[in-house]
Amino acid sequence: MRILLLTRSYPAPGDLYQYPFVHRRVLAYRALGHEVAVFRFDPERPSGEHHFDGVVCETGGLDQFRAALARSCPDVVAVHGLSEVLWPACVLVDPAIPVCAWLHGSEIPGFLREKVVQIDDPVRRGEQERLLAGRIAFWRDVMARWPGNLHLAFVSADSRELMRRDLGALLQDARTAVLHNPIDTDLFTYRAKRAADRFAVLSIRPYDSRTYGNDLAVAAILAVRGAPWFGQMRFTLIGDGPLFAETLAPLAGIAEVTIRRGFLTQQEIAAEHGGHGLFLVPTRLDTQGVSRDEAMASGLVPVTNAVHAVPEFVDPACAGLAGPDDARALAEAIAEMVENPALFLARSAAAAARVRAQSGHERIIPAELAWMAACAA
């Protein structure tokens, strides 16, 4: 197929965390022989293009996207992050060409609502509440006159149900699919962990919203600090964002904790996986949790919160699970595996196996391509 991929974000040198899971799709589609052109719709940026990992990404507004449509003659337009922001570009697509749109997070009103309640600053919260109201109105309008060429994919069943809470019967299941974000198990390879790896805990997260639960990770580390085995532990916390310094300040000076500010390439993330056994990834909100599943593919055992979509992807056989906002239970999950190496090793193997069975790219990429082909038929 000829695929024109329209996205609101895409990785760039120095800006690695902008939809890396979309980039992995582009590489996978191309590896299977499909033609893929990438367009980042952003009228506020200067138009042009940038190169990332062998992919050319064009950026521009409506005029540039119209030209890209004419050049690429796509069989399908694949959209990532559809909201009122991208909709003006979607309207330009010929009604005979399917628009297959993935919803990953705050494009879904219920997901955005959960993020809004975590904002303390009243001015910023008011801005986001207005954005939420506009997003709900946008989707109700689109769904009320659902264009015949529009098809929606959700990365979890939970995210589709979140959408249904605001749209009700307007959300037609026959026009939607649940397709998990694919995990590149060739990049995130599984090598059997050793018992000693349970002492090495990794966290790789953005620090731009409380929904990521980084404060819970800090509280969990502090909660296990008094354990007799704490001196054997090695915690590595990597990330960046406006909340980085404030969130991690309580860990300053703890010898067992290494803090690194910055973002990593996918290859660098895979390398970090190789030196750790536990992946500390608390959350207050998740549609899928790609970084968690990538770590699982590498054999790390996730320690996380059983909220929203998380139980669709992990269970006690392959993870340490805590309830909502329960940092002490996160700490207990770490302690349980440190004190029971056999449990850690069993969960590690189970985590790697579950990701491959449920979300491995060798399963999901063909499913996505088959869905797009069926929409184009």
CA distance 279 to 183: 16
**pTM higher than 0.75, yes or no?**
yes
Structural fold of domain 195-358: Rossmann fold (3.40.50)
Domains of the chain, by residue range, sit at: 2-182+360-376, 195-358
Beta carbons of 303 and 196 less than 8 angstroms apart: no
Residue 117's pLDDT band, with cuts at 50, 70 and 90, is confident
Model confidence at 132, pLDDT cuts 50, 70, 90, reads very high
Question: In this predicted model, which residue has the larger pLDDT, 266 or 315?
Answer: 315
Q: What is the pLDDT of residue 169?
A: 92
Provide the residue type at 285 as one letter.
L
Alpha-carbon Rg of the chain, whole angstroms? 21
Question: Is the pLDDT assigned to residue 118 strictly greater than 90?
Answer: no
Whether the pLDDT of residue 288 is over 90: the answer is no
Fold of 2-182+360-376: Rossmann fold (3.40.50)
Mean pLDDT (whole number) for 339-355: 98
| 24, two tokens | 């992995």
CB 115 within 8 A of CB 162: no
pLDDT in tens, 188-223: 999 999 999 999 999 999 999 999 999 999 999 999
Span 220-251, pLDDT tens digits: 999 999 999 999 999 999 999 999 999 999 99
Query: Over the range 11-30, which residues count as b (16 or more CB within 10 Å of their CB) and which as e?
Result: beeeebbbbbbbbbbbbbbe
Q: 120 pLDDT band (50/70/90 cuts)?
A: confident
pLDDT at 17 over 80: no
Q: Tell me: pLDDT of 377 over 90.
A: no
Distance CA 205, CA 217 (A): 11
Query: Which residues contact residue 94 at a Cβ distance below 8 angstroms, ignoring those fewer than 6 apart?
Result: 69
pLDDT at 106 over 90: no
**Residue 168 region, left (φ>0) first, then alpha (ψ -120 to 50), else beta?**
left
Average pLDDT, the chain: 95
**CA 344/CA 341 separation, integer angstroms:** 5
